[in-house]
Every structure is written in structure tokens, then in C-alpha cells.
Structure 1
């Protein structure tokens, strides 16, 4: 079994593990973006599986994997919506942080220090794979996405987000977020690893997935808010694809 883990990338997030739930800490941008991410994720899952988001536990019966789960910012909302959730992360120090917070929140989430490849090798399969802000940190995106494909049941849904590669994304995600605002430590992102939407769609198809949607996640500096956009995919964007 091969691994697509980039040890240097894992070390970056290991160093920040204790700050996952500090809304004013190093993960402040992610906390601000999270409602926008959840809006897209829940909408795609509801549409694909015919679920009513107004119900008490709309995702009951669905098995969801949050790969690169960090401290559980996505895993916990999925559990609250009734899903059976596995959170996996290659950064070992993230797991106890996520477990403790889930326990404090009264949630049962199966957190594991493992990789997509290891889970796939064990034959694990899920209805949904959440693959958010991970693909730009792995050593081999094509191999990583093949592992994600194998983790999906036929008809399963993967939601994958990443950063576009252009001058604007360099200015905002690296110069703005890391150098000027200092929301993230310098070097958190490598612009050369950013992936354009067309490149990602090609990678998804090569991995055996059928891309069905993509949207931009756009930051409004005036309102300090995020929103989904069908047109603006220039920096952060998110995709949905199906294993047929």
C-alpha cells in the first residue's frame, strides 16, 4: 500500500492542533468559512439522497467520512444531523482534540489517526466522503483521489474543496491570509500545489468519479462573510462528484 501523505504538510497542522476550536486563533478563517461550506455540503447531500433538511435527523442512515477532519469542524455538524460519522486525519495530534470536543458536545464520532489509503485498503466504504481543503496538501493528488473513490459506495457522493491557482489566489490566500493578516502561519499553503477547477475535474474523472457541480466560496471583506457563487471560482471553490 502506498501513501500520498506529505510529512511536511502534516507537521504544519500538527503544530496548530490545539487551536482548532479557538474561533480567534489560527483557524479563524476556517471558522468564518464553515457556515458557507456546510451550506454547500448539506445541500448536496440532501439533493443526492433525497433528504429533508427540516427533519429532526435528516442524515440518519448515512455513513459519512470526513477525511482530514482536523478538530471536527465538519464532523460534528454531520453527527448532529443524524449521520454515522468517521473522522480521519494523518496528523495524530488532531485526533485527541477532536475526540475531547465531541465528548464535551455529547456527540459520538469515530475519530481515527489514519489515511484515505489505509481506510480503502481495509475495504471501508461510505455514502459520503467530505474531502475539504486536503487535496492541495497531499504528495500525489491523483493517487489520493483514487483512494477517495474507493472509499465511496456506488452512487456515493464526494464533496471536495480546494484553492484555485492564479494571481488572485496567491494574493489572497498567501499574501493576505499568511503575510498581512497573519491568520495562518507563513508557509501553511504552497501556491504551486493549488489546483484549478478544470484540473480538479480532470483528476476526479481519471479517479473514476463523475463531477456534477462546482461553486466558488467567496469572501466579502466588507461584511467579513462568505457566500457561494456560481461564477466566481477564482480563489476558494468546492465540487461535488458521484461514484457511478
Structure 2
């Protein structure tokens, strides 16, 4: 069987415990609900550019096979489905998948949700046009191996979008001290600062996996307007990298 070394059991247990709250915008996943429109805007823009799609048309992602890895309750998986994609949502936590399936059924969506990992998908020889790798890589045990498995899951010409968290004093103060201990937006222990990844480290990881980095942006939270925006220059905390597989 394909190696499962990327799985971090303690991380899975954390998200299993919170699974029922995925679709509660005021619950433990409130920060993701707040960030989700900004993430979605970036994803749609990148996919439309790379695959020459017009998001003003009906089902602009029709014909694209998209993987949402570490999909949780489906906060990004469902929008991809509504845009017309053939989307597969995969998560190592079975309770997350149960919640995602129930929510999709209530919405009248027939969706492909699976309990699994990048390793199991590679073993099954799955291939995708787009991989959404959003706020996942900082939770895996071996990110370099994980990146290589993502490369193997992309079709030639495929696009991967990966968002994660920078590792510096600012991210420690904002996401560990601020979000977990002061504001209590997240349960204590949700993040481990030493697993955060600097942008240059992530880009090097992708290059070593034969992926070509094509774009990077920051996701910046404004505490005054209480919303998120995309920044060309501020990658100090949350950021996203888009990369491609050419061959």
C-alpha cells in the first residue's frame, strides 16, 4: 500500500472533534467563513486565467476535474460544484466527510466526497486539472512528500493553489496568541507555529517536486473593516501560491 507518512494523527483528531461546526459561521470555523470569499475569488481568478474560462457564463468550470484535498465540511468544495466542475472532496477525518455529505444532500447536490489522503489517491492513479490545497500543508507530517504526491495527482498543464501561513513573529502573535488565546476564534492548539512555512520554503518545495510557481499573494485581515483582502506584497501571515505542472 502507498505510504501514509503525510498523515498526522493528532491533527486529524483535532478536526474530528470540531467536525459538527463546519457550517456554523459563528462557530469554531468562523475565521475560515470570514476568509472564504477572498479565497474563492482568488481561486476563480486563477482557474479562469489558466484554463481560459469566463466566470460570467453558466458553469464556467464545466469539464474541469477538481480535487479539494483536506476539504473539511466542504466550504470550498460546494462552490466548485456550483461552478460546474467535477469536484472530489477528500479528507482524512471521516467525521468531516460525514458532515460534508449531509450538507451537500440538504442542498440537493450529488457530490463525490471520500475519506482518504493524497497517498490513497496516488495509489488509485487519480488525476486532476486543479488541486485546491487550502490551509492543509501546515498540518501534514511530511510536507515535502505531500507536495510530491500533489504533483503526481496533477495532469500535465494542471494547476495547484496552495494557501498556508508564514512562520515569523507576526504570525505567532496574530494566530497563536491572538486568535487562539485572546480572541478565542480558534481552539487552543489548532496551529503549531513550528509547522508554519515561509513562502520561499514553500516555493522551493514545489520546485523540487517539478512544479512551476506562477503566482503568490497575501491574504490580509483588516481589523477595522473586519474583512479580508488580497495583497500583492503583504505575505507576512496568510498567503497563497499558485503553481503548475507542465509535464
Alignment TM-score, normalising by the size of structure 1: 0.99
2:216 aligned residue: 214
Note the 1:38-57 alignment, pairs <5 A: 38-57=40-59
| Contact 1:79/1:108 (8 A) holds in 2 | no
Query: Counterpart of 1:23?
Result: 25
Deviation at 1:103, TM superposition (A): 1.0
How far does the alpha carbon of each residue in 1:173-197 deviate from its partner, in whole angstroms, 9 at most, with x for none?
A: 1111100111111010000000000
CA distance in 2, matches of 1:208, 1:92: 31
Contact in 2 for aligned 1:149/1:243 (Cα 8 Å): yes
Alignment match, 1:65: 67
Residue number in structure 2 paired with 1:105: 107
The aligned residue for residue 6 of structure 1 is: 8
Match for residue 147 of structure 2? 145
Figure out how many residues of one structure are paired with residues of the other and give that number: 244
Tell me the CA shift for residue 2 of structure 1. Answer: 1.2
Matches of 2:16 and 2:73, distance apart in 1: 11
What is the alpha-carbon root mean square deviation over aligned residues?
A: 0.5
3-state SS of paired residue (1:241):
strand
Q: Deviations over 1:80-115 (max 9, x none)?
A: 000001000001110110001011112221000000
Consecutive unaligned residues of structure 1, counting only runs of 5 or more, are none
Provide the rounded CA distance (Å) in 2 between the counterparts of 1:149 and 1:134.
15
Contact 1:212–1:242 under 8 Å retained in 2: yes
Q: CA deviation at 1:232?
A: 0.2
Structure 1, 101-110 or 25-34: larger mean CA deviation: 101-110
* Structure 2: tracts of 5 or more residues without a match: none
TM-score (norm 2): 0.98
Q: Does 1:32 align with 2:34?
A: yes
Map of 1:193 onto structure 2: 195
SS in 2 for 1:32: helix
SS in 2 for 1:93: helix
Partner Cα distance (2:185, 2:94) in 1: 23
In structure 2, the partner of 1:228 is 230
- Give me the whole-angstrom Cα distance separating, in 2, the residues matched to 1:197 and 1:108: 36
CA distance in 2 between counterparts of 1:64 and 1:13 reads 23
Give the ranges of 4+ consecutive aligned residues of structure 1 lying more than 4 Å apart after TM superposition.
none
The CA distance in 1 between the partners of 2:119 and 2:225, in whole Å, is: 40
Measured against aligned partners, the alpha-carbon deviations of 1:213-242 in whole angstroms (never above 9, x if no partner) come to: 000000000111000000000000001000
What's the CA shift for 1:158? 0.2
Q: Distance in 1 between matches of 2:189 and 2:25?
A: 21
3-state SS of paired residue (2:224): coil
